[in-house]
A and B are shown apart, each in its own frame.
Chain A
C-alpha cells in the first residue's frame, strides 16, 4: 500500500482528503503542521507528500526544502496554495515541488494528480 503524508492545518479538509485517498487504496498519514509533517516523513518515508504552503510552526516551503536538501528524497510533492500566493508557489517549485493546486480545489482532481505522479 502506497503511503502519503498529508500536511494541512485545516482538519476538516485533511479528513476529507484522507477519506477520499484511502478509498483509492492509499495509506494517508495526517500532519496538522509542518513540524509534525517532517517527523512523519522521516519516520515513514512516504511515496508522496501533499502539503499546504501556509502552516503553523514550519511552512510548506520549509518542509519541501527539508525533504529535498536535508533528507535528499525525490518523492513527488504536491503543494496547496490559496489565491494570491503565486510567489510562494514559484518558490515551492524552485525548492523542488512537482505540482500545485490552488484552493479551492476539487478533491477528485487531486486524486487524479496523485495517481498520475505515483504511476510515473
Chain B
C-alpha cells in the first residue's frame, strides 16, 4: 500500500513526457499480454478443430466406403445405402461437417473411376450436397463461388452450365478459372466456346490447366480454331496457337500466315514457331523480306523454322547471316548449312576467323 502511494506521488511529480512514456509502456504491456492470450486461445481452438476434423474425416471415410460396398445388383440404391444416405443428410446440416464430407468425397472422386466413381456422384445427388454447391454460386465471396463451381465440376453436374457460364467473366481470376475448367472438364472441346467472346486475359496458368484437362479425353476432335486465332484478345490467340501446335491443325496455316503481321510480337514469334513445327515453306519469303525490320526474337524463331524447312534456295540468305551478332542465329545458320550443303560448310569453316564461329563449327563436327 505504501509502495503504491509512493509510486503515485512519484508519478505525479514526473514531467509530462515521462508520464506519457509510462502510460504507453503500461498500455503496450497490456496489449501484448492480451495478444498472447488471444493467440494461445486461437491455437487451442485450431488444434481442437484439427482433431475434430480428423475424427470426423475417419467417420465419414468409413461411411462413404461402406456405402460404396453396400450396393446390390438389383436396385440402383440398396436399403443399406439408403440408410447411410439418410445419415449423411442429417450430418450435412452442420457446415463444418458438410465441408469434411465434401473433402472426403473430393479426394476419392479424383483418384478413382468406373462404377465406384458413378456411385459417389449418385451419393452427392441423393444426400442433397448438390444443393449446397448450387447455393455457393450465389455467394458474395469469390472463394465460396469458386469452390461451388469446383464441386459441381468434380461431381459432373452438367445441367447447370447456364449458371456457370454467368461466372466466366467474373472479376475474380480464380472464379473465372474454375468456370473455364468446369466447361472444358465436362464439355471437352465444346466447352471452349466461351473463348468466342472472351474479353478478359487468359493467364499462362489458365492455359496450361485447360490444355491438361483437354488431354485427358479420348475424343480429340477439335473444332475450328480460326476464329480464336483472329480474336482481339491476345491471350486467346496465344492459347489457340498452342492448340494449333498440339492438335496439328494444318487447316489453319493461312490464318497463321496472317498472324505474322500481328501487332503483338509474342504472337508473331509463336506463329513462326508453329509454322516451323508444321515445316511450312509458304512463310519463308515474307519472313526473309521482313527480316531486317523484325525483332531479335522473330529472327531467331525464323532461323529455327529454317532448320526444319530450308532448301538450296535459302542458302544465300543463310550465308548472309552466318556471321550474325546473335549467337542463336549463327548456330542455326551453321546447322542448316552442315545438313543442306556439307561442302559449303567445310568451305566456310576455313575462312572463319570469329572465335565463336570456330567453337560452333567444332561443336557441330563433334555432334
Contact = CB atoms under 8 A, between A and B. Distances in A.
A56 interface: no
Contacts of A106: 112-116
A103 B61 contact: no
Interface in B18-75: 57, 61-62, 64-65, 68-69
Contacts of B114: 106-109
Interface residues of B, number: 22
Interface stretch (B103-111, B177-185, B272-280, B312-320): B103-111
B113 A16 contact: no
B357 interface: no
Given A12-B104, A84-B212, A19 B65 contact: yes
Interface SS, B side: helix
A15 interface: yes
Contacts of A25: none
B212 A16 contact: no
A120 interface: no
Interface string A2-29: 0000000011110110011001000000
Contact of B111 (A10, A19, A84): A10
Contacts of A109: 114
Given A10-B107, A83-B215, A104-B110, A15 B65 contact: yes
B6 interface: no
B62 A105 contact: no
A10 B109 CA distance: 11
Nearest to B103: A12
Nearest to A16: B65
Nearest to B212: A84
A15 B113 contact: no
Contacts of B104: 12
B216 interface: yes
B186 interface: no
Interface string A90-108: 0000000000000111111
Given A12-B64, A16-B68, A105 B212 contact: no
Nearest to B54: A11
A105 B61 contact: no
A36 B346 CA distance: 61
A80 B110 CA distance: 13
Contacts of A19: 65, 69
Given A15-B62, A15-B65, A16-B68, A83 B212 contact: yes
A55 B68 CA distance: 26
Nearest to A83: B216
B83 to A, nearest CB: 18
Given A83-B212, A84-B212, A11 B113 contact: no
Contacts of A20: 69
Contacts of A10: 107-108, 111
B65 A108 contact: no
Nearest to A13: B111
Given A13-B107, A107-B116, 5 more contacts: A10-B107, A11-B61, A11-B107, A16-B65, A106-B112
6 contacts: A11-B61, A11-B107, A16-B68, A16-B112, A103-B110, A104-B113
Interface of B: 57, 61-62, 64-65, 68-69, 104, 107-117, 212, 215-216
